[in-house]
Structure 1
Amino acid sequence: MESIHLVEVSGLILGALVFLLAGGLWIGITLLLCGFIAMQFAPPGISIGAALATNAWSGSASWSLTALPLFVWMGEILFRTRLSDEMFRGLSPWLNWLPGRLIHVNVLGCGLFGAVSGSSAATTAMVAKITLPELKTRGYDEMISLGSIAGAGTLGLLVPPSIPMIVYAVAANVSIIQMFMAGLLPAVIVMALYMSAIGVWALMNPGKMPKKPAPMPLRQKLKETLNLIPLGLLICSVFAALLMGWATATECAAWGVLGSLVLAASQRSLSWKSFRDSVMGATRMTGMIMLILTGAGYMSIAMGYTGIPNALAEWVNGFQLSPYALIAVLTVMYILLGCAIDGLSMIVLTTVVVLPMIQQAGFDLIWFGVFLVLMVEMAQITPPVGFNLFVLQTMSGRDSLAVARAALPFFLLLVVTAVIITVFPDIVLILPKLAFPG
């Protein structure tokens, strides 16, 4: 298929996507319809129905996805207990001196939950379920709350365990453990940039911040900090089981649900009604997520059949760019791809063509894996199909444009992080080199 024709096809698909979303159609149905449009330009002999059925089954039957509804249910249970309020009470005395105060809980919470779940969607859904109502009740601006969760929710991809890192490590034939270690320092940089941005926003918009509470004595601070113990024990136990290899992410999610139920029962906030509400809330959220995943998967498969991702990568390779120019063009390419396909598909569809280019330019494959995960993080908050945006749109009731606008500053900070690790690659490679000196 000629390059000009591929550009026309991709423009048609993107236009249809924007038009259908603007018309208020369900996101999952919109993605399915755009996948159907893309399939019209696939090579002859490919069955549209068979491709849809195969994708729907393989996507929903994925063992790694089993952790998603469990972590969503865990968030629903915690939301219906006093743990969310206790988390704010415990962190509030130590964060109130920072500009932005409790908005930083979104970043810290996503970092903690991301290390447990390994899923951006699960991290976003669980933290948003807990923090959004609390921040709104306390008078914090909704847009900065939404934007910080959308951006920080992507930390579930960068801190281990990370499904995209595993997929890339297999595709590039590199060590999974080294990939996990390489993502730690960039994750810290992302969190620091996010918290700095929140602080700057708070200083520039004092009128949008609630009234600062009165100073609290140290003894009272320590007493309030005790409220963090139940949730801290739950998170640490789940994370320790995963880190020590005692359980998989899905098994940890199951233990997290059990721990949440035990905590709710110990607080006497577990009743038949709260249990039923948590199950129904998790079921609705999981149903929405699975429909979107099916639609995104079908659209990604359709885009793969058209050859657009491979053609785009080969087009970039044809310019014979310098190393830094190559990274700049790849960044633009992945941002554009993130508007149309999901992150895992970006990795699977482009690594075969891109990896030889990266090796020829002299970049380390472990480093490029972290760079690529940052690109996947951008795709999670890139309109019109950024998955974190869909999750927050559903949970907040705000339209997709408002959520995307709130997430834009945090998207740009991910671009800044990509620039930092490109200029200073040792940030990524220092921990793997220390652990594996050979």
Structure 2
Amino acid sequence: MELLSIAAILFGFLIVLLAGGVWIGVALLATGWAGMHFAGGAIPAGSVLATTVWGSSASWSLAALPLFIWMGEILFRTRLSEEMFRGFSPWLNWLPGRLMHVNVLACGLFGSVSGSSTATCATVAKIALPELKRRGYDEKLALGSLAGSGTLGLLIPPSIMMVVYSVQANVSIIQVFLAGFLPGLLLMVLYSGYIAIRSLLKPGSTPPADPPMPFRKRIAESLNLIPVLLLICFVFISLITGWATATECAAWGVLGSLAIAWWQGALTWDTFWASVMGATRVNCMIMLILAGATYMGTSMAYTGIPMALASWVGGLQLSAYSLIAALTIMYALLGTTLDGISMIVLTTAIVIPMIKQAGLDPIWFGIFLVMVVEMAQVTPPVGFNLFVLQTMSGKDSNFVALASLPFFFLLVLAVAIITVFPDIVMVLPRMAFPA
């Protein structure tokens, strides 16, 4: 049977399982088992399953994953979300758009400690939406900025999705973390720039500025943010300078998060146990998906489908830009039905050979992939962040979708910028790890 027919059969089998409500990890395992029967009867499917599942789980690189998840769970249960608005707002009165920029900065800060787009969007929206509405800010702009800025949880390190990609693509976690830093800042600048321009063009969308606040009082209002900012800076500096590996940084992050929770008086036995159980549930879900994806990827390798696809793409002689455009459309469509981690583990084994064939760097592609997954989170009208905001605001889906549309296009612009200027992504990894 031709490889194209085998690939179509296995893909159809996977779609049927997912449509039937089977867990993603189990569906991947089942598809991998089916694929082994197309690879030749001499290969023992059970033995390969045992070795690949164990190999995908017993990875030193993956040790960072549960620790970063736990770090986010601990900080999620502190008063960080309450303090962000108070801490940032005194410093933003001079900017056009004023407190609307708190959405961007708060999402950037919370995203760097949670690693989750949904958690970032929901947490900041819970605090910011009522406050902005009470002060008379444009509700549509507030919802749009929250939808777009919520995606920063995936891009600004440490990011769970970056860890998953690094393991799947067999690249350095630290280099992928460093590569995401400047694109994350780029996206924040684009969002804040749009808010400022929109506020200048439509002055009525922004209420009058608050009375000036003395410098000492600004510092006092921001005092509770300082420990979290110091913790994030410590993690970044440790990664850049090579003082610690990604796993060691994650461990320090957990200790720092526990210290901050204790300092704020939020560290009780109930919150500690809730953070442990929350991290355990998320990590078990991800590990099952990774195990299934690894087994399916191994079975695909035995059939020869990935290399055949890579050779086929190479035969088309697509330019790097054409390949990136095609993959952008593909991931935007996948994002209407799958979450980001599932998109990565389902496609990495097949896409990475194509990327290498086109001469693109896997580190750069990891950041591109995270950004197009972000696009899927805010793609009207089916992005998951839009569902979260629709629930929290009580607005209909069309209102939220229209509000998010400018920020979706800003994400598209950011992807175009890093494609045309890849050094934005690669400059920090090259500085930290010179060839």
TM (norm. structure 2) is 0.70
CA distance in 1, matches of 2:428, 2:31: 45
Q: Is the CA contact (8 Å cut-off) linking 1:17 and 1:31 kept in structure 2?
A: no
Deviation at 1:36, TM superposition (A): 1.6
Q: Is the CA contact (8 Å cut-off) linking 1:93 and 1:221 kept in structure 2?
A: yes
Q: Is the CA contact (8 Å cut-off) linking 1:242 and 1:248 kept in structure 2?
A: yes
Task: For 1:6-17, list aligned pairs within 5 A.
Answer: 8-9=8-9, 12-13=12-13, 15-16=15-16
- Counterpart in 2 of 1:217? 213
Deviations 1:222-275 (CA, angstroms, capped at 9, x unpaired): 331223222222222333333332222222222222222222323333222332
Task: For 1:99-138, list aligned pairs within 5 A.
Answer: 99=97, 100-109=100-109, 112-113=112-113, 122-124=115-117, 127=120, 131-135=124-128, 138=131
Deviations 1:84-128 (CA, angstroms, capped at 9, x unpaired): 322331112234645333321344216644xxxxxxx83547745
Deviations 1:261-310 (CA, angstroms, capped at 9, x unpaired): 22232333322233233323333333344344444445555555555544
Closer/same/farther in 2, CA of residues 313 and 87 from structure 1, 3 Å limit: same
Match status 1:276 vs 2:273? yes
CA distance in 1, matches of 2:240, 2:54: 30
Residue type at the aligned position of 1:241: S
Closer/same/farther in 2, CA of residues 131 and 73 from structure 1, 3 Å limit: farther
- Counterpart in 1 of 2:147? 147
Match status 1:66 vs 2:67? no
- Counterpart in 2 of 1:286? 283
Q: Which among 79, 83, 87 is matched to residue 86 of structure 1? A: 83
Q: Is the CA contact (8 Å cut-off) linking 1:110 and 1:124 kept in structure 2?
A: no
Query: The residue matched to 2:316 in structure 1 has which SS?
Result: coil
- Counterpart in 1 of 2:236? 239
Deviation at 1:130, TM superposition (A): 5.0
Structure 2 segments unaligned to the other structure (5+ residues): 134-138, 378-382
Q: Which among 241, 255, 275 is matched to residue 252 of structure 2? A: 255
Deviation at 1:155, TM superposition (A): 1.2
Closer/same/farther in 2, CA of residues 62 and 110 from structure 1, 3 Å limit: farther
CA distance in 2, matches of 1:55, 1:143: 44
Q: Is the CA contact (8 Å cut-off) linking 2:178 and 2:428 kept in structure 1?
A: yes
Query: The residue matched to 1:40 in structure 2 has which SS?
Result: helix
Match status 1:32 vs 2:26? yes
Deviation at 1:69, TM superposition (A): 2.5
Q: Is the CA contact (8 Å cut-off) linking 1:158 and 1:374 kept in structure 2?
A: no
Q: Is the CA contact (8 Å cut-off) linking 2:310 and 2:353 kept in structure 1?
A: no
Q: Is the CA contact (8 Å cut-off) linking 1:123 and 1:156 kept in structure 2?
A: no
Deviations 1:310-340 (CA, angstroms, capped at 9, x unpaired): 4433222222235543543454566678878
Closer/same/farther in 2, CA of residues 61 and 357 from structure 1, 3 Å limit: same
CA distance in 2, matches of 1:345, 1:318: 23
Residue type at the aligned position of 1:419: A
Deviations 1:135-178 (CA, angstroms, capped at 9, x unpaired): 3554677964763355212314699x96578669977xxx9998
Residue type at the aligned position of 1:355: K
Query: The residue matched to 2:115 in structure 1 has which SS?
Result: helix
Seq. identity, %: 43
Aligned pair count reads: 406
Deviations 1:25-74 (CA, angstroms, capped at 9, x unpaired): 37xx1442254246424423355554544444333333333323323322
Bigger mean CA deviation after superposition, 84-93 or 314-323: 314-323
Residue type at the aligned position of 1:33: A
Q: Is the CA contact (8 Å cut-off) linking 1:31 and 1:292 kept in structure 2?
A: yes
Closer/same/farther in 2, CA of residues 396 and 304 from structure 1, 3 Å limit: farther
Deviations 1:351-378 (CA, angstroms, capped at 9, x unpaired): 44542443xxxxxx55x74145303442
Closer/same/farther in 2, CA of residues 221 and 203 from structure 1, 3 Å limit: same
Query: The residue matched to 2:244 in structure 1 has which SS?
Result: coil
CA distance in 2, matches of 1:352, 1:47: 26
CA distance in 2, matches of 1:212, 1:60: 55
Query: The residue matched to 2:104 in structure 1 has which SS?
Result: helix
Query: The residue matched to 1:66 in structure 2 has which SS?
Result: helix
Bigger mean CA deviation after superposition, 61-70 or 121-130: 121-130
Match status 1:189 vs 2:159? no
Q: Is the CA contact (8 Å cut-off) linking 2:163 and 2:173 kept in structure 1?
A: no
Bigger mean CA deviation after superposition, 63-72 or 45-54: 45-54
Residue type at the aligned position of 1:378: V
CA distance in 1, matches of 2:280, 2:426: 41
Match status 1:421 vs 2:418? yes
Q: Is the CA contact (8 Å cut-off) linking 1:374 and 1:414 kept in structure 2?
A: no
Closer/same/farther in 2, CA of residues 296 and 434 from structure 1, 3 Å limit: closer
Q: CA RMSD in A?
A: 4.9
CA distance in 1, matches of 2:256, 2:433: 36
CA distance in 2, matches of 1:104, 1:310: 42
- Counterpart in 2 of 1:370? 364
CA distance in 2, matches of 1:168, 1:195: 33
Q: Is the CA contact (8 Å cut-off) linking 2:300 and 2:306 kept in structure 1?
A: yes
- Counterpart in 2 of 1:361? none
Query: The residue matched to 1:227 in structure 2 has which SS?
Result: helix
